[in-house]
Structure 1
Amino acid sequence: MAGTLPFRVLDGAIQWDGTAHSGETDNNTVVRACGYVVRAPNVHNPARRAVLVGGWSTYGTIAAPRRRAEHGAGRSVTADIAVLVEADVLPDGHVAPPRLLHKASLHV
């Protein structure tokens, strides 16, 4: 599957189509973060799907499934897809509603 993903996690950033996406800090406090969700065939059971979630920080990892939950957490979410989101981190540590940065179909 790694060969088909539209992004790479390199050098502290999530790189998508040659653009590096990373979070932002202010006084060592995260104020913006990005994260991804991948829905693809389960390598152990190709008839089923697996969901992979990750992020630039814990906040990005929280933002990614939040986007999924707010925009189609059920079976209506397209299979074989990857999305990248970013979200502001509020002063109280909560993650604001994430914004979609990229979305791509996977060719698996």
Structure 2
Amino acid sequence: YIEVPKDANGNTVVAVEYSTLENGDISIKTYKRKFDVEKAAIVADHDNPFDIPEGRWIDIRLHEEPPELLSETPLEFQPTNLSQAVAAAMIGVEPPEISDTDATS
């Protein structure tokens, strides 16, 4: 979203064109405005680039992707039992090894 500078009457001061480049950068170009008779509209005069007047600016609102959440759990620590994981985390030690055999048999 881009908000362009306006005069006291709410008319845009410059014509602004923007695009997103292949690498993700944003290209913003400002031009003088001109009246296009065929379109019956004010358009950018591509032959006359124009600086934003002093004391004016362009507001740009960007959407930033949220950071990827990284786990603080070491890769080698993968508990198979929630109570073991909680107990180990509370006392700060590695959980006991779990064997593949059933201890009750």
Per the TM superposition, whether the score is higher than 0.5 is no
TM-score by length of 2: 0.28
Of structures 1 and 2, the one scoring higher in RCO (CA 8 A, sep 6+) is 1
Q: Larger strand proportion, structure 1 or 2?
A: 1
1 or 2, which has the higher helix percentage?
1
Larger Rg: 2
